Structure 1
């Protein structure tokens, strides 16, 4: 079986698992993310006087946008390493037949504009 066939089978098995089993794979990173949202929102509360609730929503939204950008980058990297576009779409919870709609940068003629993740990574240097 090819690597793409193995990936497809693994994604199908993972999808068939209970939600509790699926969550167990990202529970720990989520807890780190949750703590980071709370920590970062305290700074917004102090610097801008906003409520904790609004600060948390703002931080979480910024992280969501960066995470979406990261998914796009990782999809490009996966395809560049030989992973099928269909499996990339499956891994992202998208219909495999709509891989290029979900990840338009995977087409050969897609513009190579900077992603939000590029700006975030540049700011970390």
Structure 2
């Protein structure tokens, strides 16, 4: 059995797991993220007098944008390491038929410039 087939079967098995089983894989990282949103939003409340609700929304939206950029980058890395575009689409919950629409940077002639996550990572150095 090819590695591509093995990966596809593993992704299908994961997709068929009950929600609670799948959530268990990312529950802990989510709790860390939620705590980070709470902490960052309290600083916004203090610095800008934003309500807790708007401060949390603002922080979560910024994180969503960076996370989207990270997903795009991880898709590129997976393909560069030999994963099929179809399995990359499956791992991201997208149809394999729409992989290039979901990840336009996977096109052979696509620009591979900087992404938002690159800018964020640069601030950590």
Q: TM-score, normalised by structure 1?
A: 0.98
Indicate the residue corresponding to 2:6 in structure 1: 6
* CA shift for structure 1 position 59: 0.3
Pairs within 5 Å for 1:48-63: 48-63=48-63
Indicate the residue corresponding to 1:35 in structure 2: 35
Indicate the residue corresponding to 2:75 in structure 1: 75
**Which segments of 5 or more consecutive residues in structure 1 lack a partner in the other structure?**
none
Is the partner of 1:25 in helix, strand or coil?
helix
CA deviations on 1:68-124 (whole Å, 9 max, x unpaired) are 000000000000000000000000000011111100100110012210001001111
**Which segments of 5 or more consecutive residues in structure 2 lack a partner in the other structure?**
none
Is the partner of 1:93 in helix, strand or coil?
coil
> Displaced runs of 4+ in structure 1, greater than 2 A?
none
Is the partner of 1:108 in helix, strand or coil?
coil
Q: TM-score, normalised by structure 2?
A: 0.98
CA deviations on 1:18-67 (whole Å, 9 max, x unpaired) are 00000000000000000000000000000000001000000000000000
